[in-house]
Amino acid sequence: MQIFLLILSLAMGAYLFTALLWPERF
């Protein structure tokens, strides 16, 4: 379960990082 939460947090972090780098995409 902790591995799932780790992957989920990494995915959300990558999504937010991408949104900050390319705001025009969203």
Cα–Cα distance, 26 to 23 (Å, whole number): 6
**Residue 18: partners with Cβ closer than 8 Å, 6 or more residues away:** 25
Cα–Cα distance, 13 to 7 (Å, whole number): 10
Per-residue model confidence (pLDDT) at position 22: 83
Check if the beta carbon of residue 26 is closer than 8 Å to that of residue 19: yes
Check if the beta carbon of residue 14 is closer than 8 Å to that of residue 7: no
Counting residues of the chain whose pLDDT is more than 70, the rounded percentage is: 92
Assess whether pLDDT exceeds 90 at residue 7: yes
Per-residue model confidence (pLDDT) at position 23: 72
pLDDT-derived band of residue 9, with 50, 70 and 90 as boundaries? very high
Query: What's the N-to-C CA distance of the chain in angstroms?
Result: 30
pTM of the model as a whole: 0.58
